[in-house]
Amino acid sequence: MNDVQELKQFVEVHGRILGIPGERLRQVLLRIRHDEDGEPGSWAREWTEAGVELERRGREVEAGRHFNIARFPFVDGPARADAQERTVASFNRWRSGDGSGIRRLDLDLSGGRVRAWAAGLDARGGERPPVLLLSGGIVSVKEQFGPILAKASRLGLAVVATEMPGVGENEQIYAADSHRMVPELLDALADRADVDRTVAVMMSFSGHLALRAALHDKRIRGVVTAGAPIGDFFTDAAWRPGIPRVTVDTLAHLTGGAPDSVLTDLTDWALTPQELAALAVPVSYTVSARDEIIPPGDRLLLERHVRELRLLIHDDVHGSPSHVAESRLWSLRSALETLGGYGPQRTVLGLALSAIRLRERLTGASGPAEGGA
């Protein structure tokens, strides 16, 4: 059972990423009093019932977002398991009627079955498209990537959205060697896409997997991430007491460890300065300057050791909830820049990015800082 007050605090980030208006978030949160599995007033039940209400009104996309939050942060009982199933079913109904060609992939990899949504895999004119590989963090499921999957044909990319080990429908256990999932997934796609030109847009903890995978797999041409643990998160004992309980409990659930010892158990997972210096691909990283999960030392490690680094820095907490649209545009543009070409698409993204930043300046919002090493 989770601390419901902490859930309410961190769901703001998750809700904004999913596109749920702040007022709607507040309306549902007011109905939640505890986290007893399936009981009236509980987290999973109130979010699920809110989703069912939207579903009855034919608002499938919005319903799916509510089911997504109902299963947050991880499945720990029947109510959240039901919400997880509803999240997938709702997305499946939406994509079936969307006409964007999103398909389901069930991949039996060495660590267990991994499921993904994919679009743009069909070769055009005999050419297989490059791969945009998407994944969220330890609390994020693949269904959140519906909008970008729907744009695969316009981008000219094979877009594949999957999940961290243990998250959603990924049946693997999160372990020190979980980065092997990435090259195995590319192997499974090799006959349908140009996997030799892959950009991994993998956020938070999946960004750590992407960086380690890029050390060993030259098919990964670049890594785009945000709020990913690098080194100090794993090794800085003084930082650990301040890490939110929901993060600790989720890591324990995914790894099969104990909440009281899981952070210590992950010490050897840190990327070393030598490994960071060995990265031969560009790394684009969104930093939240007031991140309560990722220590500031991780940004310093990147700046000191990664050869080709671009940073987008927000004065915000983990996930930069006040800058979701800007971070998404910057991440996608960074991915296209890594692949080269895609001039028209990059121009459109650049114009949209400039418009957001201009609006922030006019409204007096604090703007981002961009930099490189």
State residue 123's pLDDT score.
59
Residue 69 is which amino acid?
A: I
Q: Do residues 78 and 106 share a domain?
A: no
Domain CATH for 224? 3.40.50.1820
Q: Which two tokens stand for residue 286?
A: 């969104």
Q: Which residues contact 148 (CB under 8 A, 6 or more apart)?
A: 132, 134, 159, 161, 332
User: How far apart (Å, rounded) are the C-alpha atoms in residues 206 and 210?
Assistant: 6
284 belongs to a structural domain: yes
- End position of a domain, from candidates 46, 67, 89: 89
Q: Which helix (H) or strand (E) covers residue 371, if one does?
A: strand 369-372
Q: Do residues 67 and 164 share a domain?
A: no
Q: Are 143 and 91 in contact (CB under 8 A)?
A: yes
State residue 47's pLDDT score.
96
Q: Do residues 176 and 281 share a domain?
A: yes
User: How far apart (Å, rounded) are the C-alpha atoms in residues 92 and 104?
Assistant: 9
State residue 372's pLDDT score.
56
- End position of a domain, from candidates 28, 61, 89: 89
User: How far apart (Å, rounded) are the C-alpha atoms in residues 323 and 124?
Assistant: 35
User: How far apart (Å, rounded) are the C-alpha atoms in residues 152 and 158?
Assistant: 6
Tell me how many degrees the CA angle 56-58-62 measures, rounded to the nearest 5. Answer: 95
DSSP classification of residue 256: T
200 belongs to a structural domain: yes
State residue 98's pLDDT score.
73
Counting the structural domains of the chain, the total is 2
Written as one string, the DSSP assignment of 203-248 is -THHHHHHHHHHHH-TTEEEEEEES---SHHHH-TTTGGGS-HHHH
Q: Do residues 41 and 112 share a domain?
A: no
Q: Do residues 108 and 166 share a domain?
A: yes
User: Model-level pTM?
Assistant: 0.93
- End position of a domain, from candidates 89, 117, 139: 89
Q: Do residues 173 and 55 share a domain?
A: no
Q: Which residues does the chain have with pLDDT short of 50?
A: 373
Specify the pairing of strand 283-288 against strand 309-314: parallel
Specify the pairing of strand 130-135 against strand 194-202: parallel
Cα four-point dihedral sign 70, 73, 79, 84: positive
96 belongs to a structural domain: no
Q: Do residues 83 and 108 share a domain?
A: no
Over residues 227-281, the pLDDT tens digits come to: 999 999 999 999 999 999 999 999 999 999 999 999 999 999 999 999 999 999 9
Q: Which residues contact 111 (CB under 8 A, 6 or more apart)?
A: 165, 172, 173, 175, 178, 180, 181, 184
State residue 373's pLDDT score.
44
94 belongs to a structural domain: no
Q: Do residues 72 and 194 share a domain?
A: no
For residue 211, give its domain range.
101-372
175 belongs to a structural domain: yes
DSSP classification of residue 323: G
User: How far apart (Å, rounded) are the C-alpha atoms in residues 337 and 331?
Assistant: 10
Specify the pairing of strand 158-162 against strand 130-135: parallel
Q: Where are the beta strands (DSSP E) in 100-193?
A: 103-109, 112-119, 130-135, 158-162
306 belongs to a structural domain: yes
User: How far apart (Å, rounded) are the C-alpha atoms in residues 283 and 294?
Assistant: 17
Q: Do residues 168 and 132 share a domain?
A: yes
Q: Do residues 166 and 189 share a domain?
A: yes
95 belongs to a structural domain: no
Q: Do residues 215 and 131 share a domain?
A: yes
State residue 127's pLDDT score.
82
State residue 298's pLDDT score.
98
Q: Do residues 78 and 132 share a domain?
A: no
208 belongs to a structural domain: yes
Q: 51-62 in b/e burial notation, b at 16+ Cβ within 10 A?
A: beebbeeeebbb
- Give the residue from 286, 290, 278 showing the smallest Cα distance to 327: 286
Q: Which two tokens stand for residue 120?
A: 């743009």
